[in-house]
Amino acid sequence: MNKRLERISRHLKNLVLKEKRKSPYLGVRAVAALLKEKYKVDISKSAVHSILSSQGIKEKKGRKQSLLMYRKQEIEILGLLLLRCIDSEVGLFEHIAGELGVYFAKVEQNLLRKIIMLVSFSSFCKEDPRKKCFLRTAGFYTFPSRKIDYFSKRIRDCKPAINLQGLRKNLNLVSTVKFYFENNDVGYCDGRFSTFWDSPCYMRDFFAPIRVVKRKINWMLKNKVVMVNYTKSFDYLSPLILRFANGLISGLKKIELLTEKEEVLEELRFTPFKPDFFFGYYPKILSKGIVLIGKQPRFKKLSWLGEDIFYVSLLTKFLQPKEKQGVTFNNVLIAPKKKFLPFWGLVTNKKQGIEPFLKQYLLYWPYMEKSFSQEMEIMEKFYSTKLEKKDLSEFIPQTIVFEEKEDFARIGEILASIFNQRIGEIELKSTKGKLILGKDFCKIMIRSFPAQIKKKFNDACLYLDEKRAFLV
């Protein structure tokens, strides 16, 4: 017997085989990740491979069906995936699955959530749930007929009433993220982490739902880094950004999320620490007082969102007109080609290991140069292009009563209403297109959608199955 297998407990072997039988399209890496998430068990992919091989289960090389299930052909009603994306800032499926869990004690939570998606979207479109488009949208490869029958019977028998009151807070808009530093100074950026402000932000175009804001902050706290899209520094690096950087260098001790009226929505406390930072800037306007230190290294290639870009990291002194010494930071310049002039720059105190953070920055703000010019126009026009003040939480009822599986169409209606208000009114039930999956992102390709809808969707920073979603 393989020595590796001898060291693995029978219980762990059974867990691996159990999950593989339930989801035969999962590869060894996905099975290992599932065990860690579901059972809090750490196991290497090579150990998973050994267990499966010992049972005669051989893995085919290449991408598994969990990815191919979306890509084999054009997907009908691809707009339903957009509703799943909008749910990443609402949390409706997660909430309802959690509330219904007491009625389905034997059904694993993730499977219950998928069943609710399948039933909700097929009822919303008034079509047969066995159609491939609904299965793919809910993440199924085959139709789980017995589970759906059991689900429908339990709903008819129990007629559960689900309270949605707690969900409304997920759609509260954050106007400002307020940072408290160890040097007793404070700093401000808007809810979208677009730019810096010298006081709380009041332009609604820069607000964001609290769930979206907290997703970014949690990632930043986990990785001990603070990222802001750009600084409005013209000519020289502004005193505002230098003050913010000095605050972070002294240490970050607390973050507050503020409403439009400067009320505290949520306070995030943690052990004070000194984070790294990445602040973007537009090289065409921040062009003075920049002195490169040492010899310029070669540009490195980075493949991202299906395209190649080039970046170089330079130790740089940023001078102030009234200060002879200035400050020294790392300066990351991004160019479309090696011999082209940089179109974007990042100021950071991080010296090494920049590429993973650069990728994450591009996940949040992939069209930085374009969005910068558009947002400068918004600031110039002030309130003329502001978002409507309708409260998104109004679209979420206090309770939903489920008596038949057809009642789950209400979930699709709620998400469609929020999508129409947040992104724009568009037909979602009859859209065809393709889905391209990357490691950390996905591209939803719908040619018929206008550019303005795509821009608003991409600006919203939405996710599909923990992958940053882009509408192209």
- Report the pLDDT averaged over residues 400-418: 94
Q: Residue 1: is its pLDDT beyond 50?
A: no
| pLDDT in the model for residue 65 | 44
Distances in Å between the Cα of 98 and the Cα atoms of 87, 163, 181, 228 are 15, 11, 37, 34
Who's near 77: CB < 8 A, 6+ residues apart?
Answer: 121, 125, 133, 134, 137, 428, 429, 430, 431, 432
Q: Which residue has the higher pLDDT, 37 or 352?
A: 352
Can you tell me the distance from the alpha carbon of 215 to that of 467, in angstroms, rounded to the nearest whole number? Answer: 12
| pLDDT in the model for residue 254 | 97
Can you tell me the distance from the alpha carbon of 75 to that of 94, in angstroms, rounded to the nearest whole number? Answer: 24
Q: Residue 191: is its pLDDT beyond 60?
A: yes
Q: To the nearest whole percent, how much of the chain has pLDDT over 90?
A: 55
Q: Are the beta carbons of 137 and 362 closer than 8 angstroms?
A: no
Q: Are the beta carbons of 403 and 159 closer than 8 angstroms?
A: yes
Can you tell me the distance from the alpha carbon of 73 to that of 417, in angstroms, rounded to the nearest whole number? Answer: 29
Q: Residue 23: is its pLDDT beyond 80?
A: no
Can you tell me the distance from the alpha carbon of 41 to that of 174, in angstroms, rounded to the nearest whole number? Answer: 36
Q: State the pLDDT confidence band at 461, using cuts at 50, 70 and 90.
A: very high
- Report the pLDDT averaged over residues 6-18: 78
Q: State the pLDDT confidence band at 297, using cuts at 50, 70 and 90.
A: confident
| pLDDT in the model for residue 61 | 56
> Which DSSP letter does residue 133 get?
H
Residue found under tokens 């169409």 = 409
Residues 90-118: b if buried by 16+ CB within 10 A, e if exposed = bebbebbbebbeebbeebeeebbbbbbbb
Q: Are the beta carbons of 124 and 412 closer than 8 angstroms?
A: yes
Q: Are the beta carbons of 65 and 25 closer than 8 angstroms?
A: yes
Mean residue pLDDT across the chain: 87
Q: Residue 283: is its pLDDT beyond 90?
A: yes
Can you tell me the distance from the alpha carbon of 75 to that of 78, in angstroms, rounded to the nearest whole number? Answer: 6
Q: CB-side exposure of 190: number of CA atoms within 13 Å?
A: 17
Distances in Å between the Cα of 458 and the Cα atoms of 24, 197, 244, 422, 452 are 33, 23, 27, 12, 10
Q: Considering only CA atoms, which of 158, 192, 163, 157 is closest in space to residue 177?
A: 192
pLDDT in tens, 327-369: 999 999 999 887 788 999 999 999 889 999 999 999 999 888 8
Q: Considering only CA atoms, which of 182, 186, 357, 212 is closest in space to residue 280?
A: 357
Q: Residue 430: is its pLDDT beyond 80?
A: no
Q: Considering only CA atoms, which of 415, 184, 189 is closest in space to residue 280?
A: 189
The strand pair at 300-304 and 290-292 is best described as unpaired
- Our separate counts of H helices and E strands in the chain read 16, 20
Q: What is the DSSP string of 336-379?
A: SSTTSPPSEEEEES--S--HHHHHHHHHH-TTHHHHHHHHHHHH
Q: Are the beta carbons of 273 and 252 closer than 8 angstroms?
A: yes
- CA torsion 34-36-39-40 (nearest 10°) is -160
Amino acid identity of residue 97, one-letter, is: A
- Encoding tokens for residue 84? 């799943």
Can you tell me the distance from the alpha carbon of 171 to that of 417, in angstroms, rounded to the nearest whole number? Answer: 13
pLDDT in tens, 235-259: 999 999 999 999 999 999 999 999 9
| pLDDT in the model for residue 370 | 86
Q: Are the beta carbons of 423 and 416 closer than 8 angstroms?
A: no
- Encoding tokens for residue 256? 């507050």
Q: Considering only CA atoms, which of 329, 318, 332 is closest in space to residue 361?
A: 332
Burial of 329 (0-12, 13-18, 19+ CB in 10 A): buried
Q: State the pLDDT confidence band at 70, using cuts at 50, 70 and 90.
A: very low
- Report the pLDDT averaged over residues 144-162: 94
| pLDDT in the model for residue 25 | 60
Q: Are the beta carbons of 188 and 200 closer than 8 angstroms?
A: yes
Q: Residue 181: is its pLDDT beyond 90?
A: yes
Q: Considering only CA atoms, which of 185, 293, 202, 284 is closest in space to residue 241?
A: 185
* Residue 269: other Cβ atoms inside 10 A: 10
H or E stretch at 290 = strand 290-292
Q: Tell me, rounded to whole angstroms, the distance of Cα 360 from its chain centroid.
A: 10
Q: Considering only CA atoms, which of 266, 272, 279, 314 is closest in space to residue 293?
A: 314
Q: Considering only CA atoms, which of 139, 154, 115 is closest in space to residue 34?
A: 139
Can you tell me the distance from the alpha carbon of 193 to that of 267, in angstroms, rounded to the nearest whole number? Answer: 17
| pLDDT in the model for residue 265 | 95
| pLDDT in the model for residue 58 | 63
Q: Are the beta carbons of 225 and 357 closer than 8 angstroms?
A: yes
pTM of the model: 0.80
Coil, helix or strand for 201?
coil
pLDDT in tens, 42-67: 888 888 888 887 776 766 555 444 44
Q: Tell me how far apart the terminal alpha carbons of the chain are, to the nearest angstrom.
A: 52
Amino acid identity of residue 247, one-letter, is: G
| pLDDT in the model for residue 59 | 60
